[in-house]
């Protein structure tokens, strides 16, 4: 049984050793996330090298996503953890040096323009909103605020300023260094943190290599307001519910998640749901029932991929977390009918945007023809991967066998819903690509000779992004 939704795992201290990494792959990991907020270049290089080696060993692709830290505002260096008492007044000092400490008992903040961004009444939320303050006064580089909660504040904890449109660059100097390194390592996806508007993606697009796909992380209120224009430039979006849940009222997050995933599917962008999906499995071998329901609802919302963060990066049970995610996904997909007779098809969904183009019409027709014929799978011949992603957005009941001669596309499609990537290592031709798909299907027990299948492609093959061809073949 082929699982349609894909699983992304963050690699960290708990999963960098080869044995554990291989267990993640065996459990169902489809893509590797390298988090540059916590990974050095040396650690990232080892992770990427290991991903490539293990993928070759198991004979299936692993996508690699480099996640840039972005302009994260944090607490500077505190001499010791600071106990915060509700109702007490504290002073914060904006610093240029992230490693410096505040003077005169002030709490250091690693954002030089902090005081210029704030005014009385604004909120300061630390540590994912666990510790809150309300600004009372601003003098020079110092901000005075009264604590609204109790808590213990630690060095390097993140700061959110909900409702503020900060004047910070989308790419910091650190991001640019990490980006150059990641591109040199040949990563497949770049995830941009704290996206606020489409211009942030345009800036990144000018710096990435052709063929690298960009994921926009939706974690700011501005991004939610500008979602449609962001999706027009992104290859995928991530519902980063950690910071998003601090920026917005928490009851808004499920609504935003559903909207992001719906729009990502309509725009043929990969939709990823992330943050605290199986958080308890950081220390427990089993998920909570609420977490299982959360994962299930993301799948029912139509997410292309689900992502594990601390569960696999620093958790005690990284492989078990992947196994749990895999089990939930397979159960939900069975309920949705992807394993039923494909000839029992439902009316097509009304789509918009790209689905109303020639490419979208061909993809829709190919999916319906597949269902009418009771074909065991779809075959697509693709250079950039766009044809496969367009078919995936139609949510066919059968797997999509995507044949490509491009290694990067082969790896990228490991993160696309319902797609089984197949690498063609010979001269590109229609007959050669079709024969490669046939051999794969027979070798893996997906079909028997004599069955019909539907083939779709963009012609000519070397013009990416155009799906204009459909044909019914007999296996």
Which amino acids are annotated catalytic?
A: 33, 74, 217, 275
φ, ψ at 325 (rounded to 5°): -60, -40
DSSP readout, 355-410?
GGSHHHHHHHHHHHHHHHHT-S-EEEE-SSSHHHHHHHHT--SS-EEEEES-HHHH
Contact yes or no for 387/459 (Cβ under 8 A): no
φ, ψ at 4 (rounded to 5°): -85, -55
* 149 to 88, 89, 92, 120, 456: CA distances (angstroms): 10, 12, 16, 18, 58
Give the number of other Cβ atoms within 10 Å of residue 334's Cβ: 12
Contact yes or no for 264/227 (Cβ under 8 A): no
**Long-range own/partner contacts, residues 90-93 (CB < 8 A, 24 or more apart):** 90/133, 90/144, 90/145, 90/146, 90/147, 91/142, 91/143, 91/144, 92/124, 92/142, 92/143, 92/144, 92/145, 93/141, 93/142, 93/143
């Amino acid at each position: 049984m082929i699982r349609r939704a894909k699983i992304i795992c963050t690699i960290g201290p708990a999963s960098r050793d080869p044995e554990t990494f291989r267990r993640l792959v065996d459990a169902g990991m489809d893509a590797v996330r390298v988090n540059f907020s916590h990974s050095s270049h040396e650690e990232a290089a080892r992770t990427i090298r290991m991903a490539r080696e293990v993928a070759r060993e198991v004979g299936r692709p692993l996508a690699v996503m480099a996640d840039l830290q972005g302009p994260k505002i944090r607490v500077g260096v505190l001499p010791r953890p600071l106990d915060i008492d509700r109702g007490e007044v504290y002073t914060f000092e904006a610093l240029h040096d992230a490693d410096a400490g505040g003077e005169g008992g002030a709490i250091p903040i690693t954002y030089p323009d902090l005081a210029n961004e704030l005014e009385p009444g604004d909120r300061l939320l630390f540590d994912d909103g666990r510790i809150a303050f309300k600004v009372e006064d601003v003098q020079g580089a110092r901000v005075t605020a009264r604590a609204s909660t109790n808590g213990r504040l630690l060095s390097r904890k993140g700061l959110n300023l909900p409702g503020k449109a900060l004047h910070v660059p989308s790419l910091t100097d650190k991001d640019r260094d990490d980006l150059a390194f990641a591109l040199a390592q040949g990563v497949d996806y770049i995830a941009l943190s704290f996206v606020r508007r489409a211009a942030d993606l345009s800036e990144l697009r000018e710096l990435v290599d052709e063929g690298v796909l960009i994921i926009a992380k939706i974690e700011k209120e501005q991004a939610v307001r500008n979602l449609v224009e962001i999706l027009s430039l992104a290859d995928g979006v991530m519902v980063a519910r950690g910071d998003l849940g601090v920026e917005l009222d928490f009851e808004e997050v499920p609504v935003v998640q559903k909207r992001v995933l719906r729009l990502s599917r309509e725009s043929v962008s990969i939709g990823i749901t992330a943050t605290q999906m199986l958080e308890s499995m950081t220390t427990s071998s089993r998920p909570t029932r609420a977490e299982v329901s959360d994962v299930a609802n993301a799948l029912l919302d139509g997410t292309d991929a689900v992502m594990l963060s601390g569960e696999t990066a620093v958790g005690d049970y990284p492989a078990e977390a992947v196994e749990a995610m895999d089990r939930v996904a397979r159960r939900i997909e069975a309920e949705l009918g992807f394993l039923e007779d494909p000839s029992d098809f439902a009316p097509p969904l009304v789509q918009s945007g790209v689905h109303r183009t020639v490419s979208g019409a061909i993809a829709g027709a190919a999916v319906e023809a597949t269902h009418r014929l009771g074909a065991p799978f779809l075959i697509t011949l693709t250079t950039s991967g766009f044809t496969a992603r367009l078919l995936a957005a139609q949510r066919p009941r059968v797997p999509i066998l995507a044949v490509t001669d491009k290694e990067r596309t082969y790896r990228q499609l490991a993160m696309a819903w319902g797609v089984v990537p197949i690498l063609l290592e010979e001269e590109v031709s229609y007959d050669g690509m079709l024969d490669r798909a046939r051999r794969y299907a027979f070798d893996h027990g997906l079909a028997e000779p004599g069955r019909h299948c539907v083939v779709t492609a963009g012609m000519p093959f070397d013009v990416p992004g155009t799906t204009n061809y459909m044909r019914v073949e007999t296996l």
